[in-house]
Each structure stands twice: as structure tokens, then as C-alpha cells.
Amino acid sequence: MDKAKVKTPKAVWDAYATKFFCQICKEETLAGNRPGTTLSSIGYKNLEENFFAVTKRHYPHGKLKNKWDALKPQYNLWLDLKRAATGLGFDVTKGIITSSDEWWEDKIAQNKKYAAFREAPMDNLDELEVMFQHINVTGLSSVIPGVQKTTAPIDVDDDSNDNEEIGHAGQDAKKGSKT
């Protein structure tokens, strides 16, 4: 008997499914289940279970990961456009950049995908900001895991310490000699 490969049905990502996908991913991110650039295995397990509970759609890990991977460049595109719109108007009610037709034509000529944001906001923006925070490299800044960004050199000889609970031998000796 031939074992036929069971083909999973195609995922349908309408606005309803995408909204709940993003909400659950935001919750998993805030719960610490996104250690790197995507959800952890626990995060995906929770996503799969919670997504099914809400939508009654059973999408396996791979389909959910594909959706995560598809949303990230869309969010980056929105960030690029918004960054280019510095000094222009922003309609908070509609969530769109307000600018002249000439500006929009120029931007759309640079990248046709910008047209999606001319009359409509980025869907699920609040959730996407949490999902993809600190994992986007835009050229304006970069993050190297394990390296803390500092703006000024740290003075290791600085005697000031607002945290009295941490006892250091040098500070304890100074306190003792002052009394």
C-alpha cells in the first residue's frame, strides 16, 4: 500500500484570521516566547492552539511561520515609508500619511508596494510593532546580541552609587571610614 503524502489545505489569511494571528503573536512575544527573530517552539505551540480556538482553523507550524515571515517585510515596508515621510502630515484618525499627489507618485515610482498605504493604514500596526520590535535592521541602527549600546564611556572609578543594597568592598570601606 502506497503511503500518499497528506496535503494540508491552503491557509486562508483574510483580515479576520490575520487580526487574531497578530493578536496571539503579540501575546506570545510579550510572554517572552520570541527569543530571537521569530517565536520559540512553545510560542508556536501556543499560537497553533489559540489560533484554532478562536478561528476554528487548524494551521500547522509551517503555515503559521510562513505568515510571520510574510508580515515582517510588509511591516518593514511601512516603516521605510513612514521614515521617508518625516516632516509630512499624518492623519491619526485614518492612520495614513498625508502628502501631496506628487510625493506619493514619487514614492510609488520608487516602490509600487507603497501604493497600498496611500489610502489605507497598515493593518494590525500595534500588534506588528510588538511582534517585530528590536528585530528590524533598518540601517539607522543595529543591535548586536550581547552588546549594550552606550553613548558615553563608563567611568569605572565613579564613586556614586544610588543603589545601597549592593555592597561593594570599596564602598563599604569608604562608608566605614567616614563615621
pLDDT the model gives residue 82: 86
pLDDT digits (tens, 9 = 90+) for 26-59: 999 999 999 999 999 999 999 999 999 999 999 9
Strand (E) or helix (H) holding 91: strand 89-91
pLDDT the model gives residue 117: 92
Highest mean pLDDT: which of 29-43, 93-107, 123-137? 29-43
Nearest to 123 by CA among 5, 14, 37, 42: 14
pLDDT category at 77 given cuts 50, 70, 90 is: very high
CB atoms within 10 A of CB 91: 10
pLDDT category at 70 given cuts 50, 70, 90 is: very high
Give CA–CA dist 74/158, Å, rounded.
46
Q: Considering all CA atoms of the chain, what is the largest pairwise distance in Å, rounded to the nearest integer?
A: 89
pTM: 0.69
- For helices 41-55 and 61-84, the axis angle rounded to 10 degrees is 90
Give CA–CA dist 26/129, Å, rounded.
9
pLDDT the model gives residue 172: 45
Share of the chain above pLDDT 90, in %: 55
pLDDT the model gives residue 6: 66
Question: What are the Cα distances from residue 103, in Å, to 42, 52, 100, 112, 117?
Answer: 44, 43, 5, 13, 13
pLDDT digits (tens, 9 = 90+) for 54-69: 999 999 999 999 999 9
pLDDT the model gives residue 136: 54
